[in-house]
Amino acid sequence: MLYSIVDEQPGFLLIHKYPGAVVHGTADSGEITLTQSLRHDFSCKSLFPCHRLDRTTSGLLVVAKGEASNKYFSTLFEKRAIDKCYLALSAKKPAKKQGAVRGDMVKARNGSWMLTHSLNAPAHTQFFSKGGVEGKRLFVLRPLTGKTHQLRVAMKSLGAPILGDERYGGGDADRCYLHAFALQFSVDGNEYSYVCPPEHGDLFCSQNFKSALDDLQSPFELPWPATKNGQ
C-alpha cells in the first residue's frame, strides 16, 4: 500500500502518504506512483495531488477531484492559505530550541540544496522542539513557504539534521523521520482541520514518542509568531 484515506469530500481527498511512495514519476521508470495508484483505485483520471511530499516523507496530502478543484487548491497554495505543520526527529540538539529559519535556497551538488544568508525570495520555516524521545529531539515545523527540500535544509542549518536523512547529514535510520502532521484550510467557506500521527518507523511507533506527542499542544495552537502575508 502507498497510502490510506483520511477523509473524502466532494471536491477533494485527504490521504496519508506512506514513506517510500513517489507522488509523481516518469512513465518509463517502471515504478507505480501514488498518482497512478489513486487513479486506478478510484477508476478516475481526474485526481490531482495538489502538492508534493518527498519519497521519504510521510503524512497528509491533498488530492483534488477534477480540474476546477485542482485549480482552486493550487491558488490556495500559491497564496499560502493552507497552514501546514510537520513532525521531525533529530539525533542532535539544535542551535536554538525554537524560532525561525529564513534564507534563500540555492542548488548545491547532486540534487541537494543549501541555505544562504540573502533574503531575495527566502524560504521561511518556524519551529518548536523538545527533548525526551528515546534520546532524540522532537521538532514541530511550520513551513510558511514551499521550497524544494525546505524543511530538510532548515534542520541542517540548525545543526540538527533530520534523523535518517542521509542527503543532509542525518545519518542512517530505518526511515527519514519527517512527517506531514497537520493541515488546515478553508474551501467555499467551510473550515477543515486535520491531524494525522505517523504510523511508520520504529521511533515514531515507540511508546516514548506517542507519550511525547500526547503531551504536545495542538500544532496550530502553539504560540507561533505573528506573520504578515506569510512572511
AA identity, residue 42: F
pLDDT tens per residue, range 64-96: 999 999 999 999 999 999 999 999 999 999 989
Stated pTM of the model: 0.94
pLDDT tens per residue, range 150-162: 999 999 999 999 9
- Just list the catalytic residues: 54
Per residue, the 3-state secondary structure of 47-116, as one string, reads EEECCCCCCCCEEEEEEEECHHHHHHHHHHHHCCCCEEEEEEEECCCCCCCEEEEEECEEECHHHCEEEC
